[in-house]
Amino acid sequence: MSDALTRLLAVQDLDTSITQLQRKRAALAEKSGLAALEAALSGLAAEQSEASSRRAALLSTQKDLEEQIRVISERRGGIEQRMYAARGSSTRDLQAMDEEVRHLTQRRAELEELELAAMVEQEPVDAELAALAARGAPLAAQVEVLRAGVAVQQAEIEAELAQAVASRAAEAALLPTALSDHYETLRARLKGTGAARLIGHRCDGCHLELSSVEVERIRSQPPDTIVTCDQCGRILVPC
């Protein structure tokens, strides 16, 4: 086996390791259970958001009613003061003011009932929010613990990746240009594996058996000859 083909296999092994490390990193959240907990926490957050929106609407209604009650109370107070100051006014004027006071009093009572209803409606929403918070607290704690654990594992994987990428770059830089280009083309087309070992009669890339005649032909070639698997097309290196 030539030095170039030996180095090509080293590059392929490093590419395989890099791909495996990247997949391992991506799968950490799923394997650790973090993804499931985050999804559950996200679902609770959506429920809390919806309940908070309902509570906010009830509070807005309550505040609007409080403002209407305030305005009516001020208006009624003003009329009552005018009535007190206008004792000598005509009976008709006093009756009109008295009628308006009674109307405002009735309207304020109606608004106060509506305000009370809005306050009562808030109680189950507040209870719902409290229950959601109680359910979310332990989940959030678990998520934090798992995130910390995943972060440690990710850092370890990143260190391995950095080392593998650096080694890969060093090995690939020493490959002949034509061989490197051919390998990269095959690797892009064949799911990351552009070169494979010929182990016995089997291609270690596609895991298919080659005929004895084909294996003999390949093994009889000069060490630096570039041959490919007649089953998958990968560069095949006899071992």
Helix or strand holding residue 126 (H, E): helix 91-173
Give pTM, 2 decimals: 0.66
pLDDT of residue 46: 97
Domains of the chain listed by start with CATH number: 28-163 (1.10.287), 177-238 (no CATH)
Distance CA 227, CA 215 (A): 11
pLDDT of residue 87: 66
**3-state SS assignment for residue 176:** coil
Which segments of the chain have a pLDDT < 70? 1, 86-89
Nearest Cα residue to 48 out of 128, 144, 163: 128
**3-state SS assignment for residue 50:** helix
**What confidence tens digit (pLDDT) does each residue in 86-95 have?**
666 677 777 8
pLDDT of residue 121: 95
Residues 6+ positions from 154 with CB-CB distance below 8 Å: 25, 28
Q: Would you tell me the crossing angle of helices 34-85 and 3-32 to the nearest 10 degrees?
A: 40
pLDDT of residue 89: 63
pLDDT of residue 212: 93
DSSP for 105-120 reads HHHHHHHHHHHHHHHH
**What confidence tens digit (pLDDT) does each residue in 167-225 have?**
999 999 999 999 999 999 999 999 999 999 999 999 999 999 999 999 999 999 998 89
154 token code pair: 């990710």
